[in-house]
């Protein structure tokens, strides 16, 4: 499907085949990605740290392994990691001044598994500071630009990973999704974004934003690639007490292309006020195609969706206020000296955190304080239970649920920075899945009138990633979109 394109613009599955047949090498693919970065980074700012030398070294080793005939599916395919995922010996900043110089002494489990399997690390991608944001404008190191329109945001918080995959600066990438931070940027950048069930992928080494909501997710050019990448990182990790013990199924086997008789519930609340008409139309058109393929389509209500956003903005900041307490200048990262340790901590945090992080720390500290806990945190946990029940009821009638991923396509840089509430609304459809811990995927289903990608979100019950992938793959095949963002258009055979 992507033949004739630069190596760095092809799908991982296609590249794996080329590598296996010896028609391309990992070093060549890696060089193509690095060349694309050279060309586009001055404009995109998707990477915070490049690891060119490491990547070429790993690529050379992967080539030897592939030549020996027994390499895992991810071997030799260049990858980008969101800069909240710890990498041993490679600076990991969380998009924050406070960790600008921090170099972890250990790998996060997802990267440890990929690295073991011969993956190639291109670098660490830009993101909203500590994954707090929906536009990537909260990075301390400047915003990422959307490769579909450089005046627009790539979404957030994993904006760098989404933009890199869309622009051929990486073949695939990992991000993190706490309230939509994989799915929303995937939608805004026209790539596939998968947020797995909470606990399916280890959080060990994922620098926490909100521990009970954080998940590691994938950015890929195809649903098939998502299945392959998820396969490589999923499964119980003894280092994460919340990781699930369940055996991991064969995700590729789920890609049957068959959706006949599958019950698809369209979420009523997701087509109301505030949804861009082109987005609603694009998603509905895609649902019609699923019906054409034999899916059994109906409407379903998630009545507590309205409260999800409020509950999220109490739970996530509460946990964040505690998770981010460790950045105090005592052991690592930025330190601003003071007369005593209290002043040193206060000055370090004052200088090291950006305004959105401070806003959420204050919000969370307040919500947990004596006398307010029950009214805020306690109440939000009750809403969370109601949302889980909404899903339980919906999944009693439907196999998967459908909504737009984001109410709008990519918005302009600066458009919402002064209005946090408007910014928070862009995650209104993605947040409920995090609160309930269920898996969801965003797949591109077309372009709006200005040529910006539209994302459709599918949600499935806990640990039914197989269903998500099956439906998303069938839809992808049926739509057969040939998405190519304008930023790439001028690149020609740059990797050659």
Partner 1 sequence: MAGGYETVIGLECHVELSTATKMFCGCRNEFGAPPNTNVCPVCLGLPGSLPVPNERAIEYIVRIGLALDCEIAPRSVFHRKNYFYPDMPKNFQISQYDLPVCVNGHLDIEVDGEVRRVGITRVHMEEDTGKTTHGSASGRIHEADYALVDYNRAGVPLVEIVSEPDIRTPEEAGAYLRELRATLEALGVSDVRMEEGSLRCDANISTRRVGEEGFGVKVEIKNLNSIRSLERALRYEQERQRAALEAGETLVQETRHFDEDRGTTHTLRSKEEAFDYRYFPEPDLPPLEPDRAWVEALRASLPELPAAKRARYERELGLRPEPAVLLASSTVQAAFFEEAVALGADPVAAANWITQDLAGMLNKAKVELAEAKVTPRHVADVVRLVADGTISATGAKQALEVALETGEEIEAIVEARGLRQVTDTAALAAWVDEVIASNPGPVEQYRAGKQGVLGFLVGQVMKRSGGSADPRAVNELLRERLSGG
Residue placing its CB nearer to partner 1 in the complex, 271 or 332: 332
Pick the closer one to partner 1 by CB: 368 or 417: 368
CA dihedral 457, 460, 466, 469 (to 10 degrees): -10
Round to whole Å and give the CA distance between 429 and 450. Answer: 22
For partner 1, which is the closer residue by CB, 302 or 316? 316
Task: Tell me the closest approach of the beta carbon of residue 382 to partner 1, in angstroms.
Answer: 14
Beta bridge partners of 50: 123
Least distance CB 357 / partner 1 (angstroms)? 14
Could you tell me whether strands 215-220 and 172-177 are parallel, antiparallel, or unpaired per DSSP bridges?
antiparallel
**Integer Cα distance of 396 and 390 in angstroms:** 10
Name the residue nearer to partner 1 (CB basis): 377 or 391.
377
Q: Which residue, 67 or 239, has its beta carbon nearer to partner 1? A: 239
Q: Which of 108, 106, 105 is nearest to 82 (CA)?
A: 108
Q: Which of 42, 313, 357 is nearest to 180 (CA)?
A: 313
Minimum CB separation of residue 26 from partner 1 in Å reads 28
Query: Can you tell me the distance from the alpha carbon of 204 to that of 86, in angstroms, rounded to the nearest whole number?
Result: 9
Interacting residues of 17 by C-beta distance below 8 A, sequence separation 6+: none
Q: Which long-range contacts (CB under 8 A, 24 or more apart) does 242-247 make?
A: 242/198, 242/199, 242/203, 242/211, 243/199, 243/200, 243/201, 243/202, 243/203, 243/204, 244/197, 244/199, 244/200, 244/463, 246/463
The residue among 341 and 385 lying less far from partner 1, judged by its C-beta, is 341
The alpha carbon dihedral of 229, 232, 235, 238 has a sign of negative
Closest distance to partner 1 from the beta carbon of 88 (Å): 10
Residues forming the site for partner 1 (CB under 8 A)? 85-86, 92, 94, 99, 102, 104-106, 108, 203-208, 210-212, 238-242, 318-319, 321-322, 325-326, 328, 330-332, 341-342, 345, 365, 368-370, 373, 377
**Closer residue to partner 1 (CB): 141 or 204:** 204
Q: List residues with catalytic annotation.
A: 82, 157, 181
Q: Least CB distance from residue 360 to partner 1, whole Å?
A: 15
Query: Are 396 and 389 a contacting pair, CB within 8 Å?
Result: no
Rounded (10°) angle between helices 109-116 and 223-233? 100
Burial of 278 (0-12, 13-18, 19+ CB in 10 A): middle
User: In which element (H, E) is residue 48 found?
Assistant: strand 47-50
Question: In the structure encoding, which two tokens stand for residue 326, read together?
Answer: 């460790």
Least distance between partner 1 and beta carbon 341 (Å): 5
């Amino acid at each position: 499907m992507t033949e004739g394109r630069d190596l760095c613009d092809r799908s991982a599955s296609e590249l794996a085949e080329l590598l296996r047949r010896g028609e391309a090498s990992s070093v060549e693919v890696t060089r193509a990605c690095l060349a694309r970065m050279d060309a586009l980074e001055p404009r995109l700012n998707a990477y915070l740290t490049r690891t060119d030398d490491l990547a070429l070294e790993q690529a050379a080793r992967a080539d030897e392994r592939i030549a020996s005939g027994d390499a895992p599916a991810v071997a030799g395919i260049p990858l980008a990691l969101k800069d909240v995922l710890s990498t041993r010996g490679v600076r990991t900043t969380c998009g924050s001044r406070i960790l600008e110089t921090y170099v972890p002494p250990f790998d996060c489990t997802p990267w440890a598994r990929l690295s073991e399997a011969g993956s190639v690390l291109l670098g660490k991608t830009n993101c909203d500071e500590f994954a707090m944001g929906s536009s990537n404008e909260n990075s301390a190191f400047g915003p990422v630009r959307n490769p579909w329109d450089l005046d627009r945001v790539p979404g957030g918080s994993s904006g760098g990973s989404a933009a890199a995959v869309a622009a051929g600066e990486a073949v695939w990438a990992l991000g993190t999704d706490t309230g939509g931070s994989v799915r929303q940027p995937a939608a805004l950048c026209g790539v596939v974004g998968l947020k797995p069930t909470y606990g399916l992928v280890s959080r060990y080494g994922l620098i926490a934003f909100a521990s009970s909501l954080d998940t590691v997710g994938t950015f890929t050019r195809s649903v098939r690639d998502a299945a392959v990448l998820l396969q490589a990182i999923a499964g119980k990790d003894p280092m994460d007490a919340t990781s699930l013990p369940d055996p991991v199924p064969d995700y590729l086997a789920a890609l049957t292309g068959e959706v006949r008789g599958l019950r698809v519930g369209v979420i009523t609340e997701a087509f109301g006020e505030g949804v861009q008409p082109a987005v609603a139309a694009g998603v509905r058109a895609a649902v019609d195609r699923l019906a054409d393929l034999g899916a059994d389509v109906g409407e379903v209500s998630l009545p507590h969706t309205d409260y999800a956003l409020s509950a999220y903005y109490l739970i996530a900041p509460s946990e964040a206020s505690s998770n981010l307490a460790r950045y105090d200048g005592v052991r690592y990262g930025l330190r601003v000296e003071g007369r005593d340790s209290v002043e040193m901590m206060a000055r370090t945090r004052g200088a090291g955190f950006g305004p959105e992080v401070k806003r959420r720390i204050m919000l969370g500290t307040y919500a947990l304080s004596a006398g307010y806990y029950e009214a805020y945190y306690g109440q939000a946990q009750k809403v969370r239970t109601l949302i889980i029940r909404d899903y339980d009821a919906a999944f009693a009638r439907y196999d998967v649920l459908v909504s737009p991923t984001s109410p709008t396509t990519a918005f302009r840089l600066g458009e919402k920075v002064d209005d946090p509430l408007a910014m928070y609304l862009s995650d209104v459809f993605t947040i409920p899945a995090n609160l309930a811990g269920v898996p969801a995927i965003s797949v591109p289903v077309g372009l709006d009138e200005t040529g910006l990608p539209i994302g459709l979100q599918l949600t499935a019950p806990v640990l039914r990633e197989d269903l998500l992938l099956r439906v998303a793959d069938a839809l992808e095949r049926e739509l057969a979109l040939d998405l190519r963002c304008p930023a790439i258009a001028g690149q020609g055979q740059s990797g050659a």
